[in-house]
Each structure stands twice: as structure tokens, then as C-alpha cells.
Amino acid sequence: MMQSIHPKSAAPGPFALVPFVSVANMMRLVNAVGVEVFLAELAAEIEADFRRWPAFDKTPRVASHSVEGVIELMPTSDGGTYGFKYVNGHPNNTAGGRQTVTAFGMLADVGTGYPVLLSEMTLLTALRTAATSAVAARHLARPDVASMAIIGNGAQAEFQALAVRALLGVNRLSLYDIDPAATAKCRSNLSRYGFDIITAASAEAAVEGADIITTVTADKRYATILTDNMVGSGQHLNAVGGDCPGKTELHRDILLRSDIFVEYEPQTRIEGEIQQLQADHAVTELWRVIAGEAMGRKSARDITLFDSVGFATEDFSALRYVRRKLNDGEFSQDLDLLADPDDPRDLFGMLVRSAN
């Protein structure tokens, strides 16, 4: 264990202790709660924060793009608590045995500026992304949905399936990935949860007859995972994989036939499927549907599309949910992240005294 991490019983020192949730402790926490319960409770937190959307500072994520991928910061505040997430997206990482997406996040008290939580967010991002997809589907899909197709069976797929079942009761899955090994992995992981799973031979076969279609691919380019003929009336789409400029999953004609719902329109115009459309093409922010200010699905024959790119309020909700679950250090360690001398004007003196 690194010297900078201290147990709860650590003697006071010239530092302010911040609860830190490691990857190991995040896994312990999720397993202790139960993954489907965790997803359902997290979805409730996300939905509650969507209902108070006007309370948040909102800005598109700050992105640094490269040929290899993107590194982003996602900040927000509700006036009492500030939160941010650092996250990358590097589609080629899997070839070297690394994750496509990794992340960590922080909450801080607005009144003092002092952090109150530092956490891993690679696992937590997967959980909150799936929970958000399920919230959108609950508000936009037909009420009688029974089946779901997942196109792209990588790191996010199992979370998506479990979240939609936790909120909508969907147990019938059709899986497809261009890499059969990814589908085999996904099927193996989900089989222990009692899903009725079909392994499809093509994307076309996977989506045929599905009530919900979730695309969660990682290729950083304009791609056509779904063509117009693959989507029919009454279906709901969660387009999750397209989340940066130049990265899409759906043919433009699908967008023109769909009622489109987004998180934060200024960000989605840059990063989402709707980057393919004119800037004045009508979309609805999801929070307005959740808050009762706008209609979602208007008829059973509508095609509804949640153009998901991920937004900072969802990370804020996830971090706040985790903070409440820490149970007095059971799933965290204290990290001496901040220098906090007895005399706030004598930072140098603190340094000198530490040598004695």
C-alpha cells in the first residue's frame, strides 16, 4: 500500500483526508449491493437529477483530440457540490490489452473548494451509462417491450442488458458483434443471470423484431452500424457508441425518421448522431420528458432515438450515489490529498518541519 493512503485511525497530520474509492473497493461495493440493485438505485439518482436540471451548471465537455483518441474533462455543479470526471476514449487500446475507456472522478464542497470524494470511474462510467440508457428507454420505449438487441458486445454490453432488465424487465436478448469472441464473452457473462439469449449471425438478424436496439460500438469514425432498412416502426434506439466528433453509428436516414432525444443539446450537436443533421433539426432534451415538460413517445408506431453521448450530471449523480454508500469507510480509504497546515499561511514551514 502506498504511504499516502491512510486508514480511518491514522493520526492527524498536515493534510486533509479525502475518501478514495479504488477499483477493488468499487467492485466490493457493487457486489455487496448487487449489480442490478446498484443499477436501479443509480438510475433513480440520475433521474432525480434530470428532474432538477436547471439547478446545474452545464457546459460541453472539454476535449483534447488526437489521432489515437480523446481525453476529456466533464465538469458540473449544483451550487453546493462540484464534480468532474477525467475520461479517455481510445478505440485501438484493446489491441494492446488496454481498456478503450478509463476514468476517475471527484466531488468537492463548493463552500470550501475541498474535495470530499475521489473515485475510480472506469467501472462507474459503465454503470452510469447503462443506467442512463435504461432511464431513457423507460420514458421513450413502448410500455410492452420484451426484447432487446445489443450491437457491439464489448465492455459496456453486459451493463446495458442488466440495466434495461432492472428497470423494464426485459429478459430476451439478441447479441451481435463483428468479433465473435466478444459475443461469446458477453453471452457467457450474462448466462449466469438467466437471460434468454440469441447469438445473431449479423446485425440485421439481431435487430429484427427487437423492441429496443442498443448500439455500443467503439470505432472512432463515421460508421453505419444500422442502415435505414434495419429499423422499423415502434422500435426504440439507444445509440451509445457515437460520442465524439466524427464518430457515429446510425445512417442519417434513420435520424430523419425518428423522434430524437438528447442529454445536453449543445454537446450532442458536436458529438452525437445528430452531428449528421442540420443545426436546426428538432431534438428534445431528455430532462424535459422526465420533468413532464415535453412529450416522449407519441404513439406505438413511433421510432424513438436516445442519442446518448454521456453528460457530466450523470457522473455527478453516480459519484454522489457512491459517496452515500461508503458506510463510514467500509468501501473506501482515506487519502492525504491536500496539504492542510495548522497555519494556512505557512505552507513552507510545514515542509521544513516535516524534515525533522
The pLDDT of residue 213: 98
CB 257 within 8 A of CB 303: yes
Percent above pLDDT 70 for the chain: 94
Model confidence at 6, in pLDDT bands (50, 70, 90)? very low
103 with 181, same domain: the answer is no
Tell me how far apart the alpha carbons of residues 129 and 309 are, in angstroms, rounded to a whole number. 9
All cell numbers assigned to 118: 475521489
198 with 212, same domain: the answer is yes
CB 155 within 8 A of CB 187: no
CB 291 within 8 A of CB 285: no
The C-alpha cell 432534451 sits at: 285
116 with 17, same domain: the answer is yes
Model confidence at 13, in pLDDT bands (50, 70, 90)? low
Mean pLDDT over 165-176 rounds to 98
81 with 185, same domain: the answer is no
* Res 91 pLDDT > 70: yes
CATH number of domain containing 78: 3.30.1780.10
Write phi, then psi, for 191 (nearest 5 degrees).
-60, -30
Nearest by Cα to 231 from 304, 173, 174: 304
Mean pLDDT over 290-317 rounds to 97
* Res 34 pLDDT > 80: yes
B/e letters for 113-124, b = 16+ CB within 10 Å, e = fewer, are: eebbbbbbbbbb
90 with 157, same domain: the answer is no
What is the per-residue DSSP string for 198-228?
Answer: EE-SSHHHHHTT-SEEEE----SSEEEEE-G
306 with 321, same domain: the answer is no
26 with 84, same domain: the answer is yes
Which residues, 6 or more positions from 352, have their beta carbon under 8 angstroms from its beta carbon? none
Catalytic annotation on 334? no
Tell me how far apart the alpha carbons of residues 328 and 316 are, in angstroms, rounded to a whole number. 20
CB 131 within 8 A of CB 303: no
Which residues, 6 or more positions from 317, have their beta carbon under 8 angstroms from its beta carbon? 42, 45, 46, 48, 49, 128
The predicted-structure confidence for 317-355, as pLDDT tens digits, reads as follows: 999 999 999 987 899 999 999 888 889 899 999 999 888
CATH number of domain containing 158: 3.40.50.720
* Candidates 49, 211, 243, 336; catalytic one: 243
Tell me how far apart the alpha carbons of residues 93 and 6 are, in angstroms, rounded to a whole number. 33
The pLDDT of residue 15: 74
Mean pLDDT score across all residues of the chain: 92
The predicted-structure confidence for 243-268, as pLDDT tens digits, reads as follows: 777 888 999 999 999 999 999 999 99
The predicted-structure confidence for 267-285, as pLDDT tens digits, reads as follows: 999 999 999 999 999 999 9
DSSP category for residue 258: S
51 with 108, same domain: the answer is yes
Q: Give the structural domain span for 113.
A: 5-123+313-353
All cell numbers assigned to 290: 422526465
* Res 1 pLDDT > 70: no
156 with 210, same domain: the answer is yes
Write phi, then psi, for 42 (nearest 5 degrees).
-65, -40
Mean pLDDT over 53-81 rounds to 94
* Res 98 pLDDT > 80: yes
CB 260 within 8 A of CB 254: no
Mean pLDDT over 69-76 rounds to 94
DSSP category for residue 111: T
63 with 159, same domain: the answer is no
How many domains does the chain fold into? 2
289 with 149, same domain: the answer is yes
What is the per-residue DSSP string for 232-245?
Answer: -TT-EEEE-S--BT
All cell numbers assigned to 142: 413502448
